[in-house]
Amino acid sequence: MEVLAILTFITVAFLFFRYKYLASGWSEFAPESKRESMIKACEYLQEQGYRIVDERVGHELSSYIGSRKYTTFLIADYIIEKEGTRYPVKVRSARDPERISGVWLRKNFFPLYEQYQSPIAYVDADLGNIEWIDFAMDFPAQYFRKRWQSRLIWLLIGIVLGWLITLATR
């Protein structure tokens, strides 16, 4: 009987302290669910004139090193369409970094770009903006400078040789 009274007291004390001190703290700082941000993003895209074609489209991406196979999944949060062109959409989540780096872009967006061959819409529904992410192969400026330098050198050599030949034949 004494054991039952002690267990009841402990249970009541636990519930009292839990609801008095912990319940308000948990509900105040509860993170916004992924679903709510997705709904906000969907509404924002439709306000901007995009038509939602599909939601949460997954693709399996396999990589091979030797005989080992590595599999990962690509997920486009939405597929949108405007003026006959379809674009994949990624919705910004709370876990995305504040400062975007090239490594993070290539890791998270390049596979989607390769899959759809179109720019990717990166939507931040809380701020109400769409950023377009596109990839292109650019040559470094020094490559073009070196190319033009070598062409100019050959042109000058040709002019000097031509000038010397005309002087020698006179």
What are the extents of the domains in the chain?
A: 34-133, 139-170
Reported pTM: 0.58
How many Å is the Cα radius of gyration of the chain? Answer: 31
**Right CATH for 34-133 from 1.10.3470, 2.60.40, 3.40.50, 3.40.1350:** 3.40.1350
The pLDDT assigned to 29 comes to: 40
Residue 24 structure tokens: 């308000």
Evaluate whether 89 touches 108 at the Cβ level (below 8 Å). no
Evaluate whether 59 touches 107 at the Cβ level (below 8 Å). no
The pLDDT assigned to 22 comes to: 59
Task: Give the integer Cα–Cα distance in Å for 31 and 64.
Answer: 38
Strands (E), the chain: 51-65, 68-82, 85-91, 120-124, 129-133
Q: Give, for all 170 residues of the chain, the pLDDT tens digit.
A: 787 788 788 887 777 766 665 554 444 444 344 578 888 888 888 888 999 888 888 888 888 999 999 988 888 889 999 888 899 999 888 778 888 888 888 888 888 898 888 999 999 888 888 999 998 877 777 777 788 888 888 999 999 998 999 888 87
